[in-house]
Amino acid sequence: MPGPSDDTSAPKDQSVKAIRRVAVVGLGLIGGSLALAMKRKTPGCTILGVDEAEVLDEAQSLRALDKAFPKNRLPDAVSDVDAVFLAVPIDEILRILPVVAETVGDGTVVTDVGSTKKKIVETASSLFSGNRHFIGGHPMAGAEGRGIAWADPLLFENAVYVLTPSPETPVAVGQRLGDLIERIGAKVLFLTPSMHDQVAAAVSHLPQMVAVALVNMVARHQSDSPMFLKLAAGGFRDMTRIASSPYFIWKDIVETNRDEILKFLDEFIQALKSMRTSIESLELAEAFENAARNRLSIPKDTKGFLKPHYDLLVRVEDKPGVIASISTELANASINIKDIEILKVREGEAGTLRLSLETPNIREKAAQRLNAIGFPSKPM
């Protein structure tokens, strides 16, 4: 890894020394989950935490930390560790980066969990030198709640965890951090900061803006009839679930990735105009077929992951206990489902599940078991 590409796997270097001491700055949902996951999955690793006193007390009650530091002792927490995770909002990451860069010792790798990467990595590049390195990070994981109370040691299981090193980052440093993240269950993907922000704008930030706009548009019709939101279900609920996200989370994201969001928003506006033309002419078949085909392809491309998964499509009836039957059958065969997704379902009739397995042989074995008990299955 002489420098990150737009889509590349981390190289393996078994001679790299394992990370033994980690400081997690910020113990909310992500930081708290990182601490819990490392305590669970990396025996012998010492975890130091930095946050407000009451948060530290709760983190220690969960046995997430070996040592706690209040915020005013940040330099003490990061001065003698192998890795630092900055799990705080983007504006705070940018604010404390100079302190961290000045304080960390030789050989330390610093990373963050911010939802945008270009500005953070550019700022860090001007601060870190010598044998002190910064690698941008973004775990694609979350939960409905916030704070240490929602921290979960399994939060990163099978989640994509993006790392965005600068071109100067040595191979061994990226591998060192990637190995640690893999050990807590995540799937590591290396991207350039710019590519990360483009992709995030298209598949995360734009959907958030669309969901907010759609909910507010429909809500404006409530004065005409309360039925608009009362009858909102199915597709509307699925599309707009993320509209409940609080603005304070999105403020920094929009400010640091505004150009990319606006670019994709403009493109989406043109796509809606094209859809409008298709509706007027009743020529929608191609658009629907393309969307269905592309939607089904989303989990198929595993290029860039350190450990690719192998997907299996399973046709199921829409009735209680179906997923339990499938998981029980595979568990009895000692087959671990690495990921599961409901791709499509017609209420009361049938649908399709996507199961991710670890190897092609395990996928074949799972297909045989499921076909034998009446669940038609085929590899993707």
Whether the model clears a pTM of 0.75, i.e. scores above it, the answer is: no
pLDDT of residue 317: 84
pLDDT of residue 43: 86
| pLDDT tens figures, 361-375 | 999 999 999 999 999
Q: Looking at the DSSP assignment, which residues form a beta bridge with residue 143?
A: none
pLDDT of residue 303: 35
Question: For the chain, what percent of residues have pLDDT higher than 70?
Answer: 89
Alpha helices in the chain (DSSP H): 29-41, 53-61, 74-78, 90-103, 118-125, 171-183, 193-200, 206-219, 227-230, 235-240, 247-281, 285-297, 322-332, 360-372
Burial of 78 (0-12, 13-18, 19+ CB in 10 A): buried
pLDDT of residue 145: 72
In the chain, where are the structural domains located?
A: 21-192, 197-294, 309-379
The rounded distance, in Å, linking the Cα atoms of 380 and 367 is: 11
- Give me the CATH topology for the region 197-294: 6-phosphogluconate dehydrogenase C-terminal fold (1.10.3660)
Write the class of the CATH domain 309-379.
alpha beta
Cβ pair 263, 215 in contact under 8 A: no
pLDDT of residue 222: 82
pLDDT of residue 28: 93
| pLDDT tens figures, 221-257 | 888 888 888 777 767 877 888 888 889 889 999 999 9
Query: Which CATH number, 3.40.50.720, 3.40.630.30, 3.10.20.30, 2.40.30.10, labels domain 21-192?
Result: 3.40.50.720
pLDDT of residue 305: 40
| pLDDT tens figures, 101-113 | 999 998 899 999 9
The rounded distance, in Å, linking the Cα atoms of 33 and 64 is: 8
pLDDT of residue 180: 94
The rounded distance, in Å, linking the Cα atoms of 80 and 25 is: 14
Residue 274 DSSP label: H
Identity (one letter) of the amino acid at 139?
A: P
Does the pLDDT at position 311 exceed 90?
A: no
Structure tokens at 261: 């969001």
Residue 299: band (very low, low, confident or very high) from pLDDT cuts 50, 70, 90: low
Q: How confident is the prediction for the chain on average, in pLDDT?
A: 86
